[in-house]
Chain A
Amino acid sequence: MNKFLSHLLAVLLFLGFMVFVVMNQATPVRFERLEGYGGLFLEGFINTVIFSFIALIGSMVTGFLLFLISKSKYQLLRAFDTIFTEIIYGTPLLVMIMIMAFVIGPAFNVFNRPVMGITGLIVYITPYMKNIFRSSFSSITEEQFMAMDLFGFTSYQKYRYIIIPQVVRILMPPLMNNFSLIIKGSALLNVLSVRELFYAQSIFHSRTFATVVGLITMWMLYIIITIPLSQFIRYFERRWSL
Chain B
Amino acid sequence: MKLDIKNLSHTYDIEVLHDLSFQLEGKRSLALLGQSGSGKSTLLRILAGLEKPTLGEVMFNDKRVTDPEYRKGVGFVFQSHNLFPHLTLLDNITLVLEKTRGFTKEAAHKRAMENLATLQLDDQAHKAPRNVSGGQAQRASIARALSVDPEVIFLDEPTSSLDPILTNDVLTAVEELRDSGKDFVFATHVMSFVRDFADYVIFMYKGKIVEHGPPEIMDGPKSEEMRSFMSKVR
Contact = CB atoms under 8 A, between A and B. Distances in A.
Contact of A150 (B71, B84, B99, B130): B71
A169 B86 contact: yes
Contacts of A152: 68, 71-72, 100
Given A143-B80, A144-B82, A242-B85, A157 B99 contact: yes
Given A143-B80, A153-B99, A166-B85, 6 more contacts: A144-B82, A150-B71, A151-B148, A162-B86, A166-B86, A242-B86
A165 B82 contact: no
A141 interface: yes
B96 interface: yes
B226 interface: no
A206 B96 CA distance: 65
6 contacts: A146-B45, A151-B148, A161-B95, A162-B84, A242-B86, A242-B128
Given A152-B68, A152-B71, A153-B100, A143 B82 contact: yes
Find the residue from A141, A149, A151, A152 having the highest chain B CB count within 10 A.
A151
B141 to A, nearest CB: 9
A87 interface: no
Contacts of A143: 78-80, 82
A157 B45 CA distance: 23
A207 B202 CA distance: 88
Interface of A: 141, 143-144, 146-147, 149-153, 157, 161-162, 165-166, 169, 242
A144 B72 contact: no
7 closest pairs, A vs B, by CB?
Answer: A242-B85, A152-B100, A143-B82, A151-B96, A151-B100, A166-B86, A165-B86
B50 A146 contact: yes
Contacts of B76: 146-147, 150
Find the residue from B48, B82, B84 having the highest chain A CB count within 10 A.
B84
Contact residue range for chain B?
20 to 34
Contacts of A141: 82
A152 B100 CA distance: 6
A165 B149 CA distance: 27
Interface string B41-82: 000010011100000000000000000100110101011101
Nearest to A147: B82
Nearest to A141: B82
B85 A150 contact: no
Interface of B: 45, 48-50, 68, 71-72, 74, 76, 78-80, 82, 84-86, 95-96, 99-100, 128, 130, 148
A166 B72 CA distance: 25
Contacts of B100: 151-153, 157
B130 to A, nearest CB: 7
A147 B130 contact: no
Contacts of B74: 150
A169 B87 CA distance: 12
Nearest to B76: A150
Contact of A242 (B95, B99, B130): B130
A149 B82 contact: no
A153 B99 CA distance: 7
A219 B99 CA distance: 52
B233 to A, nearest CB: 25
Nearest to A158: B99
A149 B50 contact: yes
Nearest to B154: A150
A221 B100 CA distance: 51
Nearest to B141: A147
Contacts of B78: 143, 146-147
Contacts of A166: 84-86
A184 B148 CA distance: 52
Find the residue from A147, A150, A165 having the highest chain B CB count within 10 A.
A150
B143 to A, nearest CB: 14
A92 B68 CA distance: 53
Nearest to B156: A143
Contacts of A147: 76, 78, 82, 84
Contacts of A161: 95, 99
A157 B49 CA distance: 20
A101 to B, nearest CB: 43
